[in-house]
Amino acid sequence: MSRIAQIDAFLVPPRWVFVRVETDDGLVGWGEASLEGHGEAVLGALESARDRLIGTDADRIEDAWQTLYRLGFYRGGPVLMSAISGIDQALWDIKGKRLGVPVWQLLGGQVRERIDVYAWIGGDRPHDVAEAAAARWAQGFRAVKMNGTEDLGWLDSPAKLDDSVRRLQLVRETGIDAGVDFHGRVHKPMARQLAHALEPLRPLFIEEPLLSENPEAIAQLAAQTSTPIALGERLYTRMDFKRLFELGAVDIIQPDLSHAGGISEARRIASMAEAYDVAVAPHCPLGPLALASCLQLAATTPNFVIQEMSLGIHYNTPSADLLTYLTDASVFDIHEGSVAVPAAPGLGVTIDEARVREAAKDAHRWRNPVWRGPDGSLREW
């Protein structure tokens, strides 16, 4: 029996939390527990996880998951589930390395040869967004996601919707497909109008047209548009998704494998979604371990459709952030809109541990920016 001997966590730039699990026979697995703006809280949750798991069997991944989720009495939520996510990914990484196979092999084997991907774009002016889309095309992407609107109140001038329509129109003219992210910052009176205005341009999806705590309103909106509705980055367990499935409110779910219980829980959420004919497109504007975990899930999930990846965090500037902590980044090479199914054991990536430890000496304190409307009231990030 191989027992968990050590669990370490590292706050590394730009805003990530990496988790390192080591067994008493020397195997090391890595996971990602990044929770944007709340990294310190996740470190606290990992403290109690150590008390539960040190000395236990590293191969009993499901037992470890259940222990962390159920024995704390207070369940769910972003902090606990992010901590569980990092450990869960690391334990799958260890098991794959021990057996010499990718994690997807342990989940039932692959159902596809390549994995479609998309990246985010932004910009202050409509033409900036078009240039960003062209830059993503040059990187190999064939699909992007863009903000639907920067600023809308509960009830705002319909003229403000024209800018959103113009942005999407310019991006679509480049030949690239685009999803449009409302980011939960639009309220029902305006969301209905914006969804209708964008519909003729045929976006891939509209994301978080309303906040996910309003499932009945999302279901109402879904009945009024033919555009697929995507959401789920702020949901953390299969129980959180259940109501949306029952209401028929969503077409594409976007669980984040660093927030929603890791590979184990995301796999269960994806299986639930399949029973409701709902697709899966995991949320991942995060680091290499989160993305590697997503690719393992994508390889073996029948109802997977497309994977977010943050290659180049700035909208038109290639960025090394995603690749900084890897010894070999070729696993994320993009060709005509897709990446290959990872072939290496475990999560399929090798972390430069020395670089991680050095970066963590100056632990980040990243916080979400504060946005306010013209009237001074707080707006959604």
pLDDT of 74 higher than 70: yes
Tell me which of 3.30.390.10, 3.30.830.10, 3.40.47.10, 3.40.50.2300 is the CATH number of domain 4-102.
Answer: 3.30.390.10
Clarify whether 127 is annotated catalytic: no
Phi and psi for 20 in degrees, rounded to 5?
A: -115, 125
The span from the CA of 352 to the CA of 221, in Å, is: 46
Name every residue whose Cβ is closer than 8 Å to that of residue 160 and which is 6 or more positions away in sequence. Answer: 149, 151, 152
- Provide the pLDDT confidence category of residue 159 given band limits of 50, 70 and 90: confident
The reported pLDDT for the residue numbered 376 is: 85
Q: Which of 173, 171, 327 is nearest to 181 (CA)?
A: 171
Decide: 241 and 269 in contact? Cβ < 8 Å.
yes
pLDDT of 68 higher than 80: yes
CA-CA-CA-CA torsion sign (62, 63, 66, 68): negative
The reported pLDDT for the residue numbered 316 is: 37
Ranges 39-48, 66-75, 117-126: which has the least confidence: 117-126
Q: What is the pLDDT of residues 323-365, one digit of tens each?
A: 889 999 899 999 999 999 999 999 999 999 999 999 998 888 8
* 20 CB-side CA count, 13 A: 18
The reported pLDDT for the residue numbered 184 is: 84
- Provide the pLDDT confidence category of residue 265 given band limits of 50, 70 and 90: very high
pLDDT of 106 higher than 80: yes
The reported pLDDT for the residue numbered 186 is: 87
The span from the CA of 82 to the CA of 76, in Å, is: 9
Mean pLDDT, rounded, for 140-163? 82
Ranges 12-26, 174-188, 195-209, 304-318: which has the least confidence: 304-318
The reported pLDDT for the residue numbered 312 is: 64
Helix, strand, coil percentages in the chain from 3-state DSSP, rounded to 5: 40, 20, 40
- Can you name the residues that pair with 307 across neighbouring β-strands? 117
- Can you name the residues that pair with 3 across neighbouring β-strands? 57
pTM to 2 decimal places: 0.95
- Provide the pLDDT confidence category of residue 140 given band limits of 50, 70 and 90: very high
The span from the CA of 297 to the CA of 268, in Å, is: 11
CATH superfamily of 105-344: Enolase-like C-terminal domain (3.20.20.120)
Catalytic residue among 38, 127, 183, 364: 183
Catalytic residue among 127, 283, 335, 364: 283
The reported pLDDT for the residue numbered 127 is: 78
Range of 74-88, 179-193, 311-325 with top mean pLDDT? 74-88
Clarify whether 38 is annotated catalytic: no
- Can you name the residues that pair with 372 across neighbouring β-strands? 378
Provide the percentage of residues in the chain whose pLDDT is more than 90: 79
Q: What is the pLDDT of residues 209-234, one digit of tens each?
A: 999 999 999 999 999 999 999 999 99
- Provide the pLDDT confidence category of residue 317 given band limits of 50, 70 and 90: very low
The reported pLDDT for the residue numbered 315 is: 37
pLDDT of 318 higher than 70: no
Tokens encoding 17: 């939390």
Where do the CATH 3.30.390.10 domains begin and end in the chain?
Answer: 4-102
- Provide the pLDDT confidence category of residue 319 given band limits of 50, 70 and 90: very low
The reported pLDDT for the residue numbered 156 is: 73
The span from the CA of 335 to the CA of 331, in Å, is: 11
